[in-house]
Amino acid sequence: MADGTKRQAAQNPAESGRGLGLLSLIVGLAAGGAVYWITDRWIDARTPSPASLTVLQTIVVFAAGWLLLSERRDFVRPVIPAAIIAAIVAAPTFTLSAAAANADGDLGLFPVFAWFAVSAPLATYLMTSLAKATLETGAPPKYASIFFHGLTLPLVAGGAAIFAGLSLVLLYAWAALLKQMDVVFFSELFDEPWFVFPFLGAIGGLSIAMIRGQQSVLGALRFMLLLFSRIAMPIMAAFSITFLIALAAKGPGAILSAEFLFARPAAALLFLAFSGMLIFNGVYQNAEGAPPALWLRLSTLIVIAIFPVYTGLCAYGIWTRIAEYALTPPRIAGAVMTLLAFGYSLVLIVGLIGEANWRARKWMPFVAPANAATAIVWIVVLIAASSPAFNMWAMSARSQERHLLSGRVDAAQFDYGYLRFELGEYGEAALKRLENAAHPQAEIIRREIARVRAAQTYWEYANPEFADPAARESAGINARENDEAEPEELQFNPEGAPPD
């Protein structure tokens, strides 16, 4: 198992990271010092600005990328790709942060959260893997190198983060012990940000070099991940067949109306689709091996054949929600991720076509170049989806406006608060257009817009029964009918109540 991956490691002795310890320590220390200066002098002096957050992220991404791309005899050339990766990631960070900063709290932050939590890490990971393979094999990079570094770099980066965190815990434990012995100097020192940030940077940088030097440990971790993929594949094949039978018997409505994962079954289907994608790549490996054993090969073919069903259900579920409730940033993000999953299902279909030559020496030879091209497409889509040209807030506001004007929702049931408190200036512009729109329920629309503008918070708008009397009157609520009884009106033993 993983013979190709082992050969790749053997062909790259410089990958061990030997001789990079001092460079990693210096770069990590400098990055930590820069982070301290930004957080202490720039961010602490005022509310975090888009520029400060962008520079902070750029420094971290550049330092980590440089250390991950560097080799013992080649640590200058990686500066350029590391800087390019940091610059590409910085652009959406600045624009999204600027939009959030200028919204005065009336803008939902889901696009910002999605960028920092999913899109930015994933795009950075893919770009770093491609850059590492390109530096090693030249352009275009060979897929064996892409797979090897795509599997190894997360282990190195994740291990470095864990070691830095454990070092900080040990540091504080040591300081607490000395404090009990009336030695308070170290306890006070370790509470100083000017010490903590450079310390974490230095430990993180040094850990990257040390972990890369432990090829036997990295090889064992790679082996465990690939072994897990082979074990999980037949399990997923059995689950997929069961799921397909249940789907044929119950219909898609039974799945899409299920109350699980916060009533978002499409998200669960996406999770299964991306999990299957990772498991398949763990089985496929670096495209240099012969077809696996028959049981694993058939299991893989079953999963590939059913994979489009997951992506199709995801697309159907998201489309249904959009048609019923219009666009929102989470639905747009879900549509983008579904598009990526659907695109990869085409890659898997290409793999199925390759199985027509059952006795081929290499397994699914078309998948390797398709995987490399897919990585580039994913980077472009993830970056573009967070760019000003793909403004989720503006798209959602326009969609919500069209949804109301089309008559598909009653004007009294429409959520004007979402425009006012979640879509910022774009929602306010939509409200202004709705005020002057020709609509059969124009009077109700203007009344609700006046009410939402009078509300101070989304909660106040959504709960007018708890608002002030003027807001209650504008909402048409009868106080005596909707209020709970006053305390003096409550009976301790009302007539007909059961005895204690």
Q: Are 212 and 20 in contact (CB under 8 A)?
A: yes
What six digits make up the tokens of 98? 């600027």
Q: Give the pLDDT score at 180.
A: 85
What's the CA dihedral at 99, 103, 105, 107 to 10 degrees?
-60
Q: What is the Cα–Cα distance from 143 to 368, expressed in whole angstroms? A: 6
What lies within 8 Å, CB to CB, of 82 at 6+ separation is 61, 62, 65, 66, 69, 131
Q: % helix / strand / coil in the chain, to the nearest 5? A: 75, 0, 25
More confident residue, 195 or 466: 195
Could you tell me how far CA 145 lies from the centroid of its own chain?
A: 25
Q: What is the Cα–Cα distance from 290 to 299, expressed in whole angstroms? A: 16
Give the closest residue to 200 by CA, choosing from 20, 75, 14, 39: 39
Give the closest residue to 382 by CA, choosing from 141, 53, 124, 157: 124
What six digits make up the tokens of 225? 């991940």
pLDDT in tens, 398-449: 999 999 999 899 999 999 999 999 999 999 999 999 999 888 999 999 999 9
Q: How confident is the model at residue 156 (pLDDT cuts 50, 70, 90)?
A: very high
Q: How confident is the model at residue 4 (pLDDT cuts 50, 70, 90)?
A: very low
Give the closest residue to 213 by CA, choosing from 75, 82, 22, 21: 21
Could you tell me how far CA 165 lies from the centroid of its own chain?
A: 22
Q: What is the Cα–Cα distance from 39 to 56, expressed in whole angstroms? A: 8
DSSP assignment of 248-307, as one string? HHH-HHHHHT---TTT-HHHHHHHHHHHHHHHHHHHHTTS-SPP--HHHHHHHHHHHHHH
| Ramachandran angles phi, psi of 395, nearest 5° | -65, -40
Q: Give the pLDDT score at 46.
A: 64
What six digits make up the tokens of 164? 């830095």
Q: Which of 42-46, 236-240, 243-247 has the lowest mean pLDDT?
A: 42-46
Could you tell me how far CA 212 lies from the centroid of its own chain?
A: 26
Q: Give the pLDDT score at 16.
A: 46
Give the closest residue to 374 by CA, choosing from 284, 259, 481: 284
- Is residue 17 scored above 70 in pLDDT? no
What six digits make up the tokens of 337? 């991720």
Name the average pLDDT for the chain.
86
Q: Are 50 and 90 in contact (CB under 8 A)?
A: no
pTM for the full predicted model:
0.86
